[in-house]
Structure 1
Amino acid sequence: MRVLHIGKFYPPAAGGIETFTAMLARAQAAAGDAVAVLAHAERRSWRTRQRADGTIAVHEVARWGQLAYAPLSPGFPWQLARAIASHRPDVLHIHVPNTSAFAALLVPAARRLPWIVHWHADIPLDSASRALRLAYPFYRPWEQALLRRADAIIATSSAYRDASHALADWRAKTTIVPLALDDAPAVPPGETLWPPGKRRLLAVGRLSHYKGFEVLLDSVAQLPDTSLLLIGSGERERALRTRIAELGLQSRVRMTGHVDDDTLRGAYAAAEIFCLPSLDRAEAFGMVLLEAMRAGLPCVASAIVGSGVGEVVAAGTTGLLTPPGDADALAAALDRLSNDEELCRRFGTAGRERWQNDYRPAAVSAATRQVYAQALAHRAAADRSG
């Protein structure tokens, strides 16, 4: 099988979608597939470049900048046509949201191929970003055209599929395939990363409004024995640092910004509790929850209606779920785990077993291959009837 993935970015760019795309591409390459990836340059660039990730050909298209969350990459359609010509894929695997993915609608060579649209998240209409809300009416016709043209759609959880307005007309051709996470090399626990405290709490993610880190800080303020390590960068960094000072948490909260993979794994190895306090369905799945489960950590996360978070964290088995935005409930859940080492151990062990059984690359790659086979069969039948 020859596969061309179309993504927004590719590692070392940080992000759950990026991490998963690389994991799936590597699993497919290890199985003998010829795999290529077309994505944007992580940093602003005037030139397209190619590099290799093992046997995977990675094409990083020049990106002049970004408008709201949309990369400005006018050469993307041309580079898509070039990638198709050079790689000769049997299938296009299109990861969205990504405005540049709409180039597939415009490129004749792309339209001749079967498409799998991997639906990682809706555009959140309740976003704090006014620009995002205003832009969506212009985005939606392209989004729906992409879904209409898709031979198959993959959603990451049944909860997200069923709650998605964008997918409402396309559920019949939507298959559920969860995200996955592969093994990671062992590293020494990074205990020195934390400020002093009796319990080491870890949170990881982009510093965006929907991640709910302000709520987490309000919760930590109620837990004098807890120290928090917050890993990630983003537009809310200054506001979060201001909130830390207002709450007098400078001695118990440390923000690291973006860190390298070894430092991140060391943080997971040293942590005692993991928290994902997201506020809304912009948190579609929670890749960091798999990282925490892999590390054997108990998880506290938000019970977001219509999100896959509640499917990843099995409440009462691998962790606890609390109402989004409720700092008191979050503090109570964190306090419960902080004072019950046996419960932490039980949740952590069950979480690691759940990752091993349900969220490994081999199973997800096999399920994706079945979707490819169905799309190819659908396209062949359509060609015969046409």
Structure 2
Amino acid sequence: MRILHLGKYYAPQRGGIERHLQDLCEWFAGHGHRVTALVHQAAGCWRSSVESIHEVDICRVGCVAAPLYAPISPTFPLQLARLIKRFKPQILHLHLPNPSCFWALLSRRARALPWIVHWHADVSAEMPDWRVRAAYRLYRPFEQAVLARASAIVVTSQAYLDASGALARWRDKCTVVPLGIAEANGDKGTAPIWPRPDLLRLLAVGRLSHYKGFAVLLDALARTPVASLVLIGQGEESDRLRAQVARLGLGDRVAMAGELSEADLLAAYAAADALVLPSLDRSEAFGLVLLEAMRARLALVASNIAGSGIGQVIVNEISGLLVKPGRMDELAKALSRISDPLLRASLADAGHQRWREHFTLEQSAQSVLAIYLQLAGAGRQAARQ
């Protein structure tokens, strides 16, 4: 099959959506399909480029800026039209949220193809930035038009589907396909150094944004003297978090490591005792880092966000500990509990087994393949008629 993905970004740019897009593309390319991804350059890189990574053709469109997490690429519709004409895809796979996907609505060639929409997250009404909430009023009609045009919609958890107002009209098109990751490949790099390696080694990974709840984690850590933390990632909250570390007197127990390479990130997982995901709202739709930690046999502590997939990844008290989002006292109690090595080992083993049984890349990709084949078969039948 010939499959064209429309995404925001692609490796080496990091993020849960980018990680899954890359994994899917490489899995399908490795199984004999022709795969192309049309994505954006990093904000401020105006020149478009084309390259091949692990048999996947990556077309990166120049990006002027990315205000409110939305890349602005004036040539995206032209690049999309040229690529469809040249590549002749059989499936158009759109990864939302991403306003550049809306250009497919205006393309005659794109509208002639079956569309699968991969719904990674709602644009949350709970986001603290009023500009995002206001912009969504303009975004929503186009979002709904894409969903109306889609032949199939992939949602990463039943809980997220049940809670999504944006998907409410389109439930009959939706299929739940949990995210999955493969075995870790390649050599590990160099792990960051925990400031106090004699203490419980906690790891937190993600964009330094408000919804990730890292400020709550730092408050909880101040009440948990048995633990130290390495925080991996960068983002708009970086300076505030550094100031909070200083204000709480945590400089001897917290290291902010910034972005790491894939190899160094694997080494960080291998060196840690537990992963903490303290996110605050449904902007955290699934938590791919949970799977990475389960694969590495780490104990998990995470927020039990209503309407998020986190509670379906972790079985509370069996494969991890779930706490109410934003509750610093509950989080501190959970962090103290996992200082018990017996509990930590039990959670880690159960989590690793759960990843193998439910959240591998093979399982996720095979489910997507089944949807592709169904759509392609329907397309051939329609053409014969």
Provide TM-score, normalisation by structure 1.
0.97
* Counterpart for residue 223 of structure 2: 222
Q: Distance in 1 between matches of 2:318 and 2:82?
A: 49
CA distance in 2, matches of 1:289, 1:251: 26
Shift of 1:374: 2.5
Match of 1:119 in 2: 119
Aligned-partner Cα distance in 1 for 2:274–2:66 = 35
Q: CA deviation at 1:142?
A: 0.2
Q: Return 5+ residue gaps in structure 1 as ranges.
A: none
Q: 1:242 to 1:89 in 2, by over 3 A?
A: same
What is the root-mean-square deviation of aligned Cα atoms in Å?
Answer: 1.4
Which SS does the other structure have where 2:127 is aligned?
coil
- Residue in 1 that maps onto 2:301: 300
In 1, Cα distance between equivalents of 2:378 and 2:146: 17
* Local SS of the residue matching 2:71: strand
CA offsets 1:237-258 (integer angstroms, 9 cap, x no match): 0110111111110110010111
CA distance in 2, matches of 1:331, 1:161: 31
- Matched-pair contact (CA < 8 Å) for 1:10–1:21: yes
1:43 Cα offset (Å): 4.2
DSSP 3-state at the match of 1:100: helix
Residues 1:271 and 1:186: Cα distance change in structure 2 (over 3 Å): farther
Letter in 1 for 2:255: R
**Shift, 1:42, TM fit:** 2.2
Deviation at 1:373, TM superposition (A): 2.2
Say yes or no: does 1:249 pair with 2:250.
yes
User: What letter corresponds to residue 92 of structure 1 in structure 2?
Assistant: L
Q: Residue by residue, what CA displacement relative to the aligned partner does 1:155-188 show, whole Å, maximum 9, x if unpaired?
A: 0000000100000000001000011111213656
Contact 1:151-1:379 at 8 Å conserved across structures: no
- The Cα shift of 1:55 comes to 1.1
**What is the identity, as a one-letter code, of the residue corresponding to 2:242?**
R
Does 1:337 pair with 2:341?
no
Query: Does residue 45 in structure 1 map to residue 60 in structure 2?
Result: no
Counterpart of 1:134, as a letter, is A
Rounded to whole Å, the distance in 2 between the matches of 1:148 and 1:192 is 46
3-state secondary structure, aligned to 1:241: helix
Q: Which residue of 2 aligns with 1:129?
A: 129
Deviation at residue 280 of structure 1 after TM alignment: 0.3
**1:232: which partner in 2?**
233
Which residue pairs with 2:205 in the alignment? 204
Distance 1:191 1:117, change over 3 A: closer
Whole-Å Cα distance in 2 between the matches of residues 15 and 55 of structure 1?
Answer: 21
Contact 1:52-1:58 within 8 A present in 2 as well: yes
Higher mean Cα deviation, 203-212 or 81-90?
A: 81-90
Describe how 1:351-362 pairs up with structure 2 within 5 A.
351-362=351-362
Code of the residue aligned with 1:15 in structure 2: it is G
Give 1:379 deviation, angstroms.
Answer: 4.1
Paired AA for residue 298 in structure 1? A
The answer for unaligned runs of 5 or more in structure 2 is: none
Q: Structure 1 segments of 4 or more deviating over 6 A?
A: none
Q: Which residue of 1 is the match for residue 265 of structure 2?
A: 264
Tell whether 2:346 aligns with 1:346.
yes
The answer to whether the 8 A contact 1:190-1:270 is kept is no
Give 1:357 shift. Answer: 1.8
- Secondary structure (helix, strand or coil) at the match of 1:71 reads coil
CA drift of 1:375 comes to 2.3
Number of equivalent positions:
384
- Residue 321 of structure 2 is matched in structure 1 by 320
* Percent identical: 48
Amino acid at match of 1:223: T
Give 1:72's aligned amino acid. I
Query: Is the partner of 1:118 in helix, strand or coil?
Result: strand
